[in-house]
Amino acid sequence: MRVGFIGLGEMGRPMAQRLLRAGHDLAVWARRPEAVAPLLDEGASAYASPAELAARSEVVFSIVTNSADVEAIAFGPDGLGDGLAAGAIHVDMSTIAPQSARALARRYAERDVGWLDAPVSGGGAAAADGTLAIMAGGHALVLERVMPLLATLGSRVVHVGGAGAGQVAKACNQMIMVAAIEAAAEAMHLARAHGVDVEAVRKALLGGSAGSRVLEVFGERMARRNFSAGIQARLHHKDFGIVLAEAVRLGVPLPIAAQVCQQLNALMAAGWGGEDTASLLRVLEAQSQARIDE
Amino acid sequence: MNVGFIGLGLMGRPMALNLIKAGHTLHVWSRRRESMEPLLEAGAGECAGPSEVAARAEVVISMVADAPDVEQVALGAGGVVEGAGEGLIFVDMSTIAPAAAQSICARLVGRGVTMLDAPVSGGEVGAINATLTIMVGGDADAFEKARPLFEAMGKTVSLIGGPGAGQVAKACNQILTGVGVAAVAEALNFARKSGVDAGKVREALLGGFAYSRILENHGQRMLDRNFRPGFKAWMHQKDMRIVLEEAHRLGLALPSAAATAQMFNAMVGSGLGEDDSIAMLKLLERMSGEED
């Protein structure tokens, strides 16, 4: 299939590579030309603008940082909207506000272009292995058409509902996941304050009711004091901005998410935004003046 | 002085009336004609839009809901900027984000208009009695020129700093009042659920370190179960949103404000948005298993 791909960062690059290796005719575009180089070596072709890339693609994927980026790629000057033919599809895998996804879906519908919001969970390793969890929002027929492509990228694709529903699921994912990271950090911090071996505590808990993927993966990073990303905490910080803005708009109380967001604010202030979210442990240590020599 | 006034709601109307009482000539405009009528009866001149208000005045005051409204009034089609004569001072007394105030101020300067951000605290009662606290950011000369107007509307008038500084002070005010209302509501609910007379607790505490204006005024209204606004819960929710968006932008932890903001979300979501913010008490009662 003729596929376009925009956003060749930590997540996007391995995803695009999987599509290439599955035999698809892949077109790429990036603001920075050096970002496309590794893909060109593997046989992708580069285009000068999203519009040009769109004009030759049946399906275009994007995975970029925020709502403004997606809006610019879609309907900015020389955007996808100028190139996508009727019947073509834009699958956005970025994490953005549900409201933005709904608005983009409406604008595409006016031109008979299909839309899917399909944010992912699982991180860089799952992107490379094709084992991402994909949460899709949009029309069922659109999802059906791109399903073979999504199956190359993820091991679990769930159709959550109409446009924006994928982003709602992603927001829920981020709330649960980062709250669990904070809970793991607090538990590790308490264990350490007692002078108990945190790794032994973590191993013991993994077998019981408190066992979780977060305790497994982020707990290990905390125990080893390995804070190199992983997932850059600044991205979770951004996601919590979206979640809490939606909570205001809907009149929904999210007391835990609100507290976690404040810890993320403190993390950003400490300059750890470019490091892994396991750094929430270091926020607690800084708050209790119990920073441990590394 | 020839003064323009845009935004004649719960707060704006009594503020504008106090300017007339102080001898100023008012020129007003409102989207809804009925909002203007009490002012027209008191002698204000009617204008067709913000640009006409600006053309007739040396100082134009706005008191509207949120940043997009201020932008529209100041810079939109038919806005203040289109009618502004030389040296016009635009005073926005709404509560908006500091960053939004700075941005509007910078764009107005480019068009020859000086802007002051001058949000207020004190509620409808303070507006009626001309006892508002007014927190001003912006140019010092413009502040001196507008000072007689501020003094006709408020009791405590302070120039805090440059553009946006008034809104920063107001954000601090909203942290203190938001968290304060929640604390008073929790304390009074705690007393009553413990089987103790909450009114006596309030009276006892007024003499000690827990004394606050909020315990005195808002606490009394909670005991009276007088939830008539005052200051509506949805407006406090909006102000807490501004505070927490700024905190997010700055990388600043505000855990108590964040917890309180979620309580305001719950109030608006459960239909208490039009009540005074002291209806926080009703929310807590529901959380402790009571019907209203």
ipTM of the complex: 0.75
In eight-state DSSP terms, residue A291 is P
Superfamily of domain A168-287: N-(1-d-carboxylethyl)-l-norvaline Dehydrogenase; domain 2 (1.10.1040.10)
**A2-162: which CATH topology?**
Rossmann fold (3.40.50)
Mean pLDDT over the full length of chain B: 95
Are the beta carbons of B154 and B122 closer than 8 angstroms?
yes
Mean pLDDT score, B110-116: 96
Q: Which amino acid is at B147?
A: R
Q: What is the pLDDT of residue A34?
A: 85
Closest partner CB to B269 (pick from A245, A250, A266):
A250
Across the interface, whether the CB atoms of B248 and A252 are under 8 A apart is answered no
Task: Provide the token pair at B113.
Answer: 């208009």
Alpha-carbon span B275 to B264, nearest angstrom? 11
Q: Which residue of A has its CA nearest to B271?
A: A251
Least CB-CB distance to A265: which of B253, B262, B268? Answer: B253
The pTM score is 0.82
pLDDT at position A208 is 87
Per-residue pLDDT, A292: 52
Query: According to the model, what pLDDT value does residue B231 have?
Result: 87
Whole-Å CA distances, B179 to B153, B229, B280:
27, 18, 11
* Interval B116-138 mean pLDDT: 95
pLDDT at B130 over 50: yes
Enclosing H/E stretch for B151: helix B140-153
Tell if the CB–CB gap between B252 and A265 is shorter than 8 Å. Answer: yes
All domains of chain B in start order, with CATH: 2-162 (3.40.50.720), 168-287 (1.10.1040.10)
Whether the Cβ atoms of residue B137 and residue B117 lie closer than 8 Å to each other: yes
Percent of chain B surpassing pLDDT 70: 100
Chain B partners of A259 at a C-beta cutoff of 8 Å? 255, 258-259
Burial of B110 from C-beta contacts in 10 A (0-12 / 13-18 / 19+): exposed
Pairing of strands B114-117, B132-138: antiparallel
Chain centre distance of CA A179? 16
At A22-72, the pLDDT tens digits run: 999 999 999 888 889 989 999 999 999 999 999 999 999 999 989 999 999
Mean pLDDT for chain A overall: 94
Q: Where are the domains of chain A?
A: 2-162, 168-287
Rounded to a whole number, what is the distance in Å from the CA of A291 to chain B's nearest CA? Answer: 19
Q: How confident is the model at residue B229 (pLDDT cuts 50, 70, 90)?
A: confident
| Average pLDDT rounded to a whole number, residues B56-77 | 96
Q: Using one digit for the tens of pLDDT, what is the confidence trace for A229-246?
A: 788 999 999 999 999 999
Cα of A254 to nearest chain B Cα, Å: 6
Which residues of chain A neighbour B248 with C-beta distances below 8 Å?
237, 240-241, 244, 261, 265
**Active-site pick, A159, A170, A221, A236:** A170
pLDDT at A293: 47
Catalytic residue among B170, B200, B232, B238: B170
The model's pLDDT over A150-167, given as tens digits with 9 standing for 90+, comes to 999 999 999 999 999 999
pLDDT tens digits, one per residue of A257-291: 999 999 999 999 999 999 999 999 999 999 886 55
pLDDT at A294: 44
Assess contact for A70 and A96: CB atoms under 8 A: yes
